[in-house]
Amino acid sequence: MRKFLTIGTLGLIGFLSACVHVDADFDLELNAPPPPEWSLVIHGGAGVITREAMTPETEAAYTAALTELVSTGSGMLQDGAAGLDVVETLINSMEDNPLFNAGRGAVMTEDGGFSLDSSIMVGDTLDSGAVAGLSNVRHPISAARKAMENSPHVMLAGEGADQFAAQEGLEIVDPSWFYTQRRWESLLRALERRGVEAPPNRYGPKDDSARFAFPDDRKFGTVGVVAMDRSGNIVAGTSTGGTTAKRWGRVGDSPVIGAGTYAKSDVCGVSSTGTGEYFIRLSIAYAICSRIELLGEDAQTAADYVIHTSLSDLGGDGGVIVLGPQGQPAWSFNTEGMYRGYATSGGEQVVEIYEYNKGAFD
């Protein structure tokens, strides 16, 4: 009889404990903030970005640019704009801003030219488009969208990609449009370290109003946007000029679906920035989405694991921005800083540059 009572008592205690646990979980769910109706996260590159290396003028310029982008995207999404249009519009703006390594202000190749890459992906259909090695298209992200919508292919490259963009009516510019004195001087430093003679300067010198010099050029100005619109559709896009003094037609991760860009609605959206060779080898963007979808991890946990374990263990550096299944923003990077910002329909709006603590969104 005593044994029976003991077992029964323990069973009752266990049952009551389970009820308390369920009630506690239920209360947490009731008190949790509702998922956003729309959300947005952006980046302008990651790398050696420290307060010590940043002048007040430079910091103010980047902060103002990021703030304006987040505000513009927020207004569009609030008004019901499609995520695809928001991503293209914001990246167009960054491609025109010499502060960033995309479009005007892109880094230069070893021979003193430009080679621009971009990609875009729509999460509800998995439609995607990418371009690599553009030399005269003002807005590579728009060329990537045209490739997605008006060609049977996912990726176009080189001269053919330039021709396609012109055929689609996109703005074609002289390559001098992309030139800034800041990037020319970065190229000269890179070639000097490599022991290579500098090519003739075909475009400069110019009076460069956005000439914000850094003591260390080891940073990545690739730009990216991930947006979830009111329909719940998640769209991601990335655009870049690549790496300073690149040669042999080098292509990084930015135009590679699954490495630099990935989106799947109700799962995630990702845009990457960093040393592309590592991001390609690890399929960084897809790896994060897979952890969210298959392991049930939240966006921040998945991003932190892939960046601070997978990427770091392989010796790569860089970062990502992410939207989770319900539009929860996250970012992760293993560099000193990353130009970044996010906004949600709940009224949150954040812009940051320097290092962060893992789990900052928890």
The separation between CA 139 and the C-alpha centre of its own chain, rounded to angstroms, equals 17
Q: What is the DSSP letter of 243?
A: S
Q: Give the relative orientation of helices 140-150 and 158-167 as an angle to the nearest 10 degrees.
A: 80
Q: Is 359 in a helix, a strand, or coil?
A: coil
9 is catalytic: no
Which of 58, 89, 222, 335 is the catalytic position?
222
Q: In the numeric block, which tokens belong to residue 332?
A: 């992760």
Reported in sequence order, the residue ranges of the chain that DSSP labels E, i.e. its strands, are 39-47, 116-122, 128-134, 155-157, 223-228, 234-240, 261-264, 268-274, 318-323, 329-333, 337-344, 349-354
> First and final CA of the chain: distance in angstroms?
50
The two beta strands, 318-323 and 268-274, are: antiparallel
**Cα separation of 144 and 130, whole Å?**
4
Tokens 């449009």 found at: 177
Whole-angstrom CA distances from 277 to 109, 231, 242, 286, 359 are: 17, 35, 11, 15, 26
Q: Burial code of 325-347, b = ≥16 C-beta within 10 A, e = fewer?
A: bebbbbbbbbbbbbbbbbbbbee
* Closest by Cα among 62, 64, 89 to 77: 89
The DSSP code for 361 is: T
Helices then strands, each counted (H, E), the chain = 10, 12
141 CB-near residues (< 8 Å, 6+ apart):
87, 88, 91, 92, 95, 118, 120, 237, 239
- φ, ψ (nearest 5 deg) of residue 356: -135, 165
Q: Which of 132, 102, 114 is nearest to 203 (CA)?
A: 114
The set of catalytic residues is 222
